[in-house]
Structure 1
Amino acid sequence: MISSWRRRRAGRRAAKLQQHAEDDIGSMELTTPNHFRCPISLDLMKDPVTLSTGITYDRESIEMWIEAGNRTCPITNQVLRSLEPIPNHTIRKMIQDWCVENRSFGIERIPTPRIPLSSVEVTDMLSKFKMAYRREDEAGCRELVAKMKSKGKESERNKRCIVINGAAGVLSAAFEAFSSASFDKYVAVLEDILAALTWMSPLDGEAKSYLSSAASLNCLVWLLKSGDLSARGNAVSTLKELLSSDKRKVYALSEIEGAKEALVKLVKEPICPTATKTSLVVIFHMVSSSPSNEDTKVRFVEMGLVELLLELLVDSEKSVCEKALGVLDGICGCEEGREKAYGHALTMPVLVKKLLRVSDLATEFSVSILWKLSKNEKREDGSVLVEALQVGAFQKLLLLLQVGCSDRTKEKATELLKLLNIHRERLECIDSMDFKDLKRPF
């Protein structure tokens, strides 16, 4: 009995002593050693690196310092002999051991960071890639492209390092070389290179120069027609970037057999929203680049693009709507385009509906199209203007002038009102739209 009682009392005493010890530990404040802190952020270093001056910083902090344009050491103020920081594995291991020792304080062990790419490694990869594509080593090129993409996806820093060391120019040169050799034979490596170039967008001048060559443009159109879904999307994205920066390439693209058909197919049979928008942008450049490029507009009309755009506009989101209206505005610059628009039942209802409903840009395109259709109408009965009145164009245009718009749009809207006013006495205008929910800036 006595022995059992003594054991219970001893146990309670030991539990109290342990509780006091834990309370004492919990009340202690853990101090991070100064040599484990980054001199810039003053936080515990997660990826310690050492500069040429011998001072160690956290990688993220010192890279932000260097990217801001500084070329000196923040502590010593000495000019840096090299901008490539060297990983300090010794300090990193010491920090990890300290974290493990103090895990009872809630300190988590910092993971071992992946060593980022250096300019030397990127240059070496690109040098090997050049040798591989010059000897038409398809397998070697694909392996190196995959390695670049893999490294680039590890971090934004790696991606910047790859891009600033001229990877886009080297890959574009290889794309041109393989395109000149054979589309069919090297389709796999061509698709891989194009995917990598899309990932490196926006491209520099050297890369665009290689991709704008006759061989490269023909290959891009071929991929647009015959490639898989990913390749078609990458091809149209590359074409958009080329045409946006160099309008002189529009004519060259227009002359390539099957280019127009492939672009229209991307709109008619969309593979993804991005590809649809991009295709519309490329078509916009082709139909609005030059008034003398009438053959291109006529060909698009013959392929049923006017009908396709009007159906697309019925229920499309803002970005698609703006681009579709821009293309339709360009096509209505030719007589064939206007004739197709005149004969479609959706033309006037859709165009009037888009006024003040989507965006300022969409409104400007809609007014421009209405102006072209009304001004060039050859029917004596003025059926186009009458239909515009019936669906509420007069009220919408008056409201547009009150809300405000660009000077060019205001001139067209004013001229349209004058044309519409001639036919107002023939019928009572029907309000087809409810304006009560319209957002006004006043």
Structure 2
Amino acid sequence: MISTWRRRVAARRAAKKKSIEEDDNANMELTIPNHFRCPISLDLMKDPVTLSTGITYDRESIEKWIEAGNVTCPITKKILRSIEPIPNHAIRQIIQDWCVENRSYGVERIPTPRVPISSHEVKEVLTKIEDAIRRNDDESCLDFVSMIKSLSKESDRNKRCVVSNGAGRVLSAAFDALSKRDPIHEHVALHEEILSMLMISLSSPLDEETRTNLSTSESLHYIVRFLRFGSLSSRRNAVLALKVILSCNDQEVVEDLVKREGLLDALMKLIEEPICPTTTKASLLAMYYILKSSQSNPDKQATISKFLEMGLVQNLLEILVDSERSVCEKALGVLDGICSHREGRNKVSENVLTVPLMVKKMLRVSDLATELSVSILWKLGKDEENGEGTVAIEALQVGAFQKLLLLLQVGCSGTTKEKVTDLLKILNVHRQSVECIDSLDFKNLKRPF
């Protein structure tokens, strides 16, 4: 019994001593060795890389330095012979071992990073894609496109490397070459993969060669084809490509596109049956560019009429009822484009939702949404300036006069200010007969003073 009691006392003392030691260790501040810290961020390096000057940095920090346009080493100030940093595996392994040794302090072991793709590797794969296209080797081409697509998705750094080494030019040329082959139905899988990769690598504005490749009649045929009959992902990629192509404001390309059967219907379907917010925004932007192009050409009223027949106005107003800022701005942009045509203004003014929604969006969504809402009301108001003033009366009933006055006070662009002044003059004529305001419209407005 005595020996048992002694063992228990000894065990309690040992446990108490261990607890004290652990508390002491917890209270000790762990110091990171200086050579483990990045000279730029001063944090523990997670992916140490060495420059041509021999100084080691964390990859994320030094790449931001280089991307900012710097061509010198931050420490030595020497000109870099190469901007490609070299992974320092030795120091990374030492840091990982140090992390393991100090895990009792809450230090987590840094993961072994993937080695990012280099410019040389990107150019090598792109060259193989060009060779495969020339040899009509679709199977190999598909493998190389899938490879570079996978690498691009690994990190933003890889994506930037792929884009900067001419992926858009090579892939658009491959897309165009496939579009000119016969029979065309044999290359659908490769076409879809190239289009998908193009959406990763494309940026606006396009370089001349990429724009030319995607704007050929054959390439446009395939893009519209995917937009009409493709899978959900293909339709998404097609409308994104269409948005980028139309943003170049090439009149000939717009004319070619609007003549293609089913294009407007396919865009309308993406509005009525949205796939994702990105697709909806791209569809609205494509419509906006088409309408913008038609404004300067009276012969293109057929395009406006087609949109109106498909119920675009009603769909836009329904989107505006409850949508996030970016979608709201683009829907207002399309509606403003419609109001640039007499037939469009007539259709917009007929809808009972138009005026209440335009007044509601002012000073609530964004500066751009406010300017577009004012522009739409101004175009509708000018049409009936000397008439019965149906739009003006309705605008007064929902508090437009007070909002417009407030807009002048908080400030707006010169063009919008002129439109607001015109609208106030139009509304003022009817103020004697009817006026109503909902004060709740102003409850969340931030005062500038």
TM-score range, shorter chain: 0.7 to 0.9
Stretch of structure 1 that moved more, 34-43 or 355-364: 34-43
Long gaps (5+) in structure 1: none
TM-score (norm 2): 0.82
Task: Give the structure 1 partner of residue 122 of structure 2.
Answer: 122
Conserved in 1, the CA contact under 8 Å of 2:359 and 2:395? yes
Shift in alpha-carbon separation, 1:343–1:53, aligned structure 2, 3 A: closer
> Cα RMSD between the aligned structures?
3.8
Letter paired with 1:207: T
1:266 aligns with 2:270: yes
Task: State the percentage of identical aligned residues.
Answer: 58
1:291 aligns with 2:292: no
Separation (CA, whole Å) in 2 of partners of 1:82 and 1:153: 25
Task: Give the structure 1 partner of residue 423 of structure 2.
Answer: 416
Q: Report the alpha carbon displacement of residue 391 of structure 1 after superposing the two structures with TM.
A: 3.9
Q: Report the alpha carbon displacement of residue 126 of structure 1 after superposing the two structures with TM.
A: 1.0
Q: Report the alpha carbon displacement of residue 243 of structure 1 after superposing the two structures with TM.
A: 2.3
Separation (CA, whole Å) in 1 of partners of 2:395 and 2:34: 76
Q: Report the alpha carbon displacement of residue 217 of structure 1 after superposing the two structures with TM.
A: 2.2
Separation (CA, whole Å) in 1 of partners of 2:58 and 2:372: 52
Stretch of structure 1 that moved more, 352-361 or 427-436: 427-436
Shift in alpha-carbon separation, 1:234–1:28, aligned structure 2, 3 A: closer
Task: Give the structure 2 partner of residue 190 of structure 1.
Answer: 191
1:336 to 336, 343, 346: 343
Aligned positions of 1:176-215 closer than 5 A: 176-181=176-181, 184-203=185-204, 204-205=206-207, 206-215=209-218
Q: Report the alpha carbon displacement of residue 355 of structure 1 after superposing the two structures with TM.
A: 3.4
Q: Report the alpha carbon displacement of residue 237 of structure 1 after superposing the two structures with TM.
A: 1.8
Conserved in 2, the CA contact under 8 Å of 1:48 and 1:57? yes
Letter paired with 2:158: N
Aligned positions of 1:324-403 closer than 5 A: 324-377=331-384, 381-403=388-410
Separation (CA, whole Å) in 1 of partners of 2:302 and 2:171: 34
Deviations along 1:27-60, one digit per CA (max 9) or x if unpaired, are: 9998877766656666655444444455555444
Letter paired with 2:142: R
Conserved in 1, the CA contact under 8 Å of 2:37 and 2:45? yes
Long gaps (5+) in structure 2: none
Q: Report the alpha carbon displacement of residue 70 of structure 1 after superposing the two structures with TM.
A: 4.3
Q: Secondary structure in 2 aligned to 1:113?
A: coil
Shift in alpha-carbon separation, 1:381–1:139, aligned structure 2, 3 A: same
Conserved in 2, the CA contact under 8 Å of 1:38 and 1:57? yes
Conserved in 2, the CA contact under 8 Å of 1:277 and 1:320? yes
TM-score (norm 1): 0.83
Separation (CA, whole Å) in 1 of partners of 2:61 and 2:40: 7
Separation (CA, whole Å) in 1 of partners of 2:19 and 2:439: 78
Separation (CA, whole Å) in 2 of partners of 1:269 and 1:217: 23
Conserved in 2, the CA contact under 8 Å of 1:30 and 1:105? yes
Shift in alpha-carbon separation, 1:59–1:277, aligned structure 2, 3 A: closer
Shift in alpha-carbon separation, 1:70–1:221, aligned structure 2, 3 A: same
Task: Give the structure 2 partner of residue 429 of structure 1.
Answer: 435
Task: Give the structure 2 partner of residue 256 of structure 1.
Answer: 260
Q: Report the alpha carbon displacement of residue 229 of structure 1 after superposing the two structures with TM.
A: 1.4
Q: Report the alpha carbon displacement of residue 145 of structure 1 after superposing the two structures with TM.
A: 2.1
Conserved in 1, the CA contact under 8 Å of 2:292 and 2:337? yes
Aligned length: 440
Shift in alpha-carbon separation, 1:380–1:166, aligned structure 2, 3 A: closer
Instruction: Kindly name which structure, 1 or 2, has the bigger radius of gyration based on alpha carbons.
Output: 1
